[in-house]
Amino acid sequence: MQKEQYLDIVPEVQSALKNNEPVVALESTILSHGMPYPENVSFAAEVEKVVRAEGAVPATMALIGGRIKVGLNGEELERMCRAEDVSKVSRRDFATCLATGRTGATTVATTMMCAAMAGVKVFATGGIGGVHRHGEVTMDVSADLQELARTPVAVVCAGAKQILDIGRTLEYLETMGVPVIGNGTADFPAFYCKKSGFGLDYAAKDETEIARIVHTKWALGLAGGVLIGNPIPDEYALDFDYMEGVINRAVAEAELTGVHGKDITPFLLSRIKEITGGAAFRSNVQLALNNARCAARIAKALCALAA
Ligand code: PSU
Ligand code: MN
């Protein structure tokens, strides 16, 4: 059986791909395990709207009923947002979830896998997974990083949350040969904050230049993806030191409760939300919309290069 036989690509995405029109992949873990219900329902609709406003077609990914869904209808989006009996699926869980027909939300790693299988080249997320704090002891390194090294998708993120060891995350990406490009910045963004203090080798001037870099990498036959760090808009950025305090508290609680493995990221996300109240959530929504806009522009520029 060919992998294509597991894919359900919605007609709108199918036709865009066939006609070399821009498509932007979106993940479902950000809905099911990254944002509260029912606010995630409005976010899911809004992010698709932003992609369309830029002239691209959104394709939210999920595993439902033994099928790889590329593009979700309203009912399926609602189901991912309700998140009842929806597991978080990374590369390790992918085949099991599909073969058993369970409902799975895709992370950055598995959204990249779905995108590559369908032929979607650009993906917008919020923040990527990475090397966790004390990762040198726990070996907790997100599968997102390996995926960036092996799967040819350009991923637009607002950097990584300070729940991670950002320095080691960038070291790991360097070792794996993943280009990390700043969109107008030479400082890797820290999700809620514009800067992490860790430098990048290249600050691209705009999305057209980013598309040229992505296009060149793949034209050379170099395997794997490209990571784009797109800083949160000024008006929604939060104070770095304030967030450091919040995150230190959440990380300490995680250590006390003994939560580990794939549950640690959702645990930290939900604690940050509780501690900060609405402010962090609003920033989270806005940075993700900003990434969707950037991804749509890169997708458009890539289509022009392929024409
Ligand atoms: N970081 C966030 N929000 C998220 C995630 C990470 O700020 O929603 C999600 C993404 O889906 C990411 C996943 O791919 O968590 C990483 O989980 P882990 O660390 O278990 O690999
Ligand atoms: Mn992990």
**How does pLDDT run across 79-136, given as a tens digit for each residue?**
999 999 999 999 999 999 999 999 999 999 999 999 999 999 999 999 999 999 999 9
On the CB side of 292, CA atoms within 13 Å amount to: 27
Q: How confident is the model at residue 307 (pLDDT cuts 50, 70, 90)?
A: confident
What gap in Å lies between CA 301 and CA 207, rounded to an integer? 7
Compute the distance from residue 140 Cα to the ligand 2 centre, in Å: 5
Model confidence at 199: pLDDT above 80: yes
What gap in Å lies between CA 13 and CA 44, rounded to an integer? 17
Compute the distance from residue 304 Cα to the ligand 1 centre, in Å: 31
* Percent over 90 (pLDDT), the chain: 95
| 140 CA: nearest ligand 1 atom | 19
* Atom 18 of ligand 1, residue of closest alpha carbon: 142
25-42: burial string, b at 16+ Cβ within 10 Å, e else: bbbbbbbbbbbeeeebbe
Which residues are found with C-beta within 5 Å of the ion, ligand 2? 140
Mean residue pLDDT of the chain comes to: 96
140 close to ligand 1 (CB < 6 Angstrom): no
Closest C-alpha among 15, 60, 134 to residue 288: 60
pLDDT at 1: 65
Q: In this predicted model, what pLDDT tens digit does every residue of 215-269 receive, in sequence order?
A: 999 999 999 999 999 999 999 999 999 999 999 999 999 999 999 899 999 999 8
129 close to ligand 1 (CB < 6 Angstrom): yes
Q: How confident is the model at residue 65 (pLDDT cuts 50, 70, 90)?
A: very high
Q: How confident is the model at residue 2 (pLDDT cuts 50, 70, 90)?
A: confident
What gap in Å lies between CA 24 and CA 60, rounded to an integer? 8
Q: How confident is the model at residue 277 (pLDDT cuts 50, 70, 90)?
A: confident
Partners of residue 259 on adjacent β-strands: none
How many C-beta neighbours within 10 Å does residue 101 have? 12
Q: Which residues contact 274 (CB under 8 A, 6 or more apart)?
A: none
The residue type at 284: N
Model confidence at 183: pLDDT above 70: yes
The residue type at 207: E
40 close to ligand 1 (CB < 6 Angstrom): no
Ligand 1 pocket mutation, candidates 144, 145, 251, 285, criterion most atoms within 8 A of CB: 144
pLDDT at 90: 97
pLDDT at 11: 98
Model confidence at 171: pLDDT above 90: yes
How many C-beta neighbours within 10 Å does residue 188 have? 24
269 close to ligand 1 (CB < 6 Angstrom): yes
Residues catalogued as catalytic: 27, 161
- Taking the C-alpha atoms of 163, 296, 177 and 219 in order, what is their torsion angle to the nearest 10 degrees? 170
Question: Mean pLDDT, to the nearest integer, of 151-164?
Answer: 97
